[in-house]
Amino acid sequence: MPKIDTNTMIGVNDLVRAYSKHKRPAVDGITFSVSRGEVLGFLGPNGAGKSTTMKVLTCFLPPTNGHVTIAGHNVYSDSIAVRKHVGYLPEDTPLYKDMTVLGYLEYVAELRNIPFSERKHRIGAVGETTGILDVLGKYIRELSRGYRQRVGLAQAMIHDPDVLILDEPTSGLDPNQIVEIRELVRRIGKEKTVILSTHILPEVQATCTRVVIINHGKIVADGTPDALIAQEQTNRYRMLFARNISDNSLPPATAIEQKIKALSGVKHITHSDTETNEIQFDIVSDATTDLRLNLFQLASQQNLPLLELDRKTASLEDVFSRLTRSEEL
């Protein structure tokens, strides 16, 4: 049995989870750990093994092989102890809409075996943290989606767990609600260990201290968002042309593509119509090449009606796309 650092709240060692011996494992020998106070973004495309991993961490599924611990407790042999240390918010928030917020949290507190004398304090504490004290008397069905997510977070935190596992906590929220939940997760992460699973990558970049990306059951990246972005070995550009000018002189998009492809350093190019009279080209070059001057000169020499030219900085979306798509740019 591997040794677990006392500061390590989640330890995953060579985890394998297979649903059938005749098929490739959903999770295929992954290893990572999460320390106290980390907010880990756990990312992967559909079918990558992300949800399966989270189900093992929360004791919904046993591992096929490997060793997984939460706060030093084995998820297979000591699952009751693990559940005491874990708070879980699944994507479909488990709420009873015909209950009041207070009644629901009292019910969850009872399920969690919180002593009756401590329940009022715990409900008040999580209510203050999640900002729901002013809606405790309301029925859950009366709440907005944002407040329902806050109630879901409150139920995950009511037993004061060391580890929070949040699956798509901002799914379906409007932009203002996303910002609110993002700030809430950031605050919680200062005291708890948090695993955040989401498809909103800017949210991960703004919230998480570390990112693990899984694809086809294997880990393909592990590091801070800034470190992963710094590894991107490409430059990206956007060119916007006017399509229908007075003399109708804009060549076909494929002809423009061929001229851009001929420039040294270009790796990939696509085009799309943005508006009735505009067409956009997205260009990828190697990291050592700055194409801005060459692209501007090309547009000038060919008398192309250039409206915009800008170089886009790399993002976590670029990293995710490169590591999880099957084809190379």
pLDDT, tens only, 20-72: 887 899 999 999 999 988 999 999 998 899 989 999 999 999 999 999 999 99
> pLDDT at position 124, please?
97
- The answer, as to whether pTM is greater than 0.75, is yes
Residue 328: pLDDT band (50, 70, 90) is very low
Q: Is the pLDDT of residue 107 over 90?
A: yes
Domain 234-313 has CATH 3.20.20.70: no
Binning the chain into helix, strand and coil, the percentages to the nearest 5 are: 35, 30, 35
> pLDDT at position 1, please?
42
Query: What phi, psi does 256 have (nearest 5°)?
Result: -65, -40
For residues 195 and 166, the answer to whether their CB atoms sit within 8 Å is yes
Count CB-CB contacts under 10 A for residue 220: 17
**DSSP codes joined into one string, 41-63:** EEE--TTSSHHHHHHHHTTSS--
Ranges for all domains in the chain classified under CATH 3.30.70.260: 234-313
Q: Which ranges of 189-291 would DSSP assign to H, the alpha helix?
A: 201-207, 225-230, 253-261
Please, what is the Cα angle at 300 between 295 and 302, to 5 degrees?
95
Q: Give the amino acid at 77.
A: S
Q: Is the pLDDT of residue 309 over 90?
A: yes
In the CATH scheme, what is the code of domain 8-226?
3.40.50.300
Q: Is the pLDDT of residue 327 over 70?
A: no
Q: Is the pLDDT of residue 248 over 80?
A: no
Ranges for all domains in the chain classified under CATH 3.40.50.300: 8-226
Tokens of 292: 């801005």
